[in-house]
Structure 1
Amino acid sequence: MKTPDPLPPVRALVIAIFEANGRLVDMGNHIVRPAGLTTAWWQVLGALGYAPTPLSVSEIARAMGLTRQGVQRVVDLLVDHGHVTLEPNPHHRRAKLVVLTDAGRQALETAERAAGPIDARVLERIGAERLSVALSVLGEMTEIVTQALDAVPVSPFASEKE
């Protein structure tokens, strides 16, 4: 009996990314829970913390590969908890800019410190050079997938899925 062909390399990588993402979300929730955060909150705080200027909800969503509605829900919670404020956007009347507060910056720093030990273990085991290659490959993959998504016509049912 012939054994089935292994997964094509792209599909195997996609499945590995899905698995890694699930583990990263679980680990994120575990390490930032003591700081009163979730992985989703940390993700939005991180997008803001690493951006050179404040971002709108849509810009955060695009940068993180999330839906605008999902980011809006998280931003609303972060506003309620004093981690971010909404400020006028000089480039768009209705799309406010999301700005980290001092409390939000402290929460992000706490999350980053909590992630430090696992980051160090990853770096020690995999090495900076291999991590750099992985980052480059993921960046190229993201670019290809983004281009493919941009080429897909908008479905009249798209809003039902979000």
Structure 2
Amino acid sequence: MTDTASAGTELVLDVFRINGLLLAAGDRLADAEGLTSARWQVLGAIALAHEPLPVPHIARQMGLTRQSVQVSVNRLVADGMLASEPNVEHARSPLFDLTGHGAAAYERLAAAQQDWIGGLTTGLSAADLQAASHLLRTLSARLTSATTTHEQPHDPMRRATT
């Protein structure tokens, strides 16, 4: 294994660990609003888009399966935090938007998250955080591209096709 591949493997393992920690922290923050990290992410995707979104768009934006996002959306609709509206571009894929209740919950969570992230990033430079974010976005784009083209680069388990 090359030094780059070894460092890449270490990074992936670190991302797996931090993902679990971030989800647990998000669950603790979101619990104040009776939400989970997953439902908070759905509210955030719509809030940050500033327009109603269909489930497939939310799923792509968050890097999740459509089915898992649909479960969160269904719960948010049942809880009165999201409302659906017809999608003139795709009749079978309604658009979802925040209700007043959902927008207020998202705003309270965004404020709590700002306090939390301030503590988490104390002592770290903006440049280091931006470099880490750039690296993760680059890897995300490569994974998205490989998934879209059904190619898994350097996958020793991939069968050759004729």
Long gaps (5+) in structure 2: 152-162
Partner of 2:113: 115
TM-score (norm 1): 0.86
Higher normalized contact order (CA 8 Å, seq sep 6+, divided by chain length)? 1
CA apart distance, 1:114:
1.8
Give yes or no for contact 1:79–1:85 (8 Å, CA) kept in 2.
yes
Correspondent of 1:98 among 93, 96, 102: 96
Partner of 1:33: 31
Residue 17 (1) aligns with residue 15 (2): yes
Letter in 2 for 1:20: I
1:85-141: CA deviations, max 9, x gaps?
A: 010112111100011111111111111122222210233222221111111111110
Partner of 2:51: 53
**Greater strand share, 1 or 2?**
1
| Fraction of identical pairs, as percent | 37
1:43-99: CA deviations, max 9, x gaps?
A: 100111111321100000000011101111110000000100010112111100011
- What is the aligned-residue RMSD (CA, Å)? 1.7
Correspondent of 2:123 among 122, 125, 128: 125
Q: Which moved more, 1:109-118 or 1:96-105?
A: 109-118
Q: What secondary structure is seen at the aligned counterpart in 2 of 1:125?
A: coil
Give yes or no for contact 1:32–1:114 (8 Å, CA) kept in 2.
no
Q: State the number of aligned residues.
A: 149
CA apart distance, 1:7:
7.2
Q: Which moved more, 1:45-54 or 1:16-25?
A: 45-54
Aligned equivalents of 1:91, 1:7: Cα separation in 2:
44
Structure 1 segments of 4+ aligned residues over 2 angstroms from their partners: 122-125
Q: What secondary structure is seen at the aligned counterpart in 1 of 2:91?
A: strand
Q: Which moved more, 1:109-118 or 1:86-95?
A: 109-118
Residue 149 (1) aligns with residue 147 (2): yes
Q: What secondary structure is seen at the aligned counterpart in 2 of 1:92?
A: coil
1:17-41: CA deviations, max 9, x gaps?
A: 1111100000111111121111111
Letter in 1 for 2:26: G
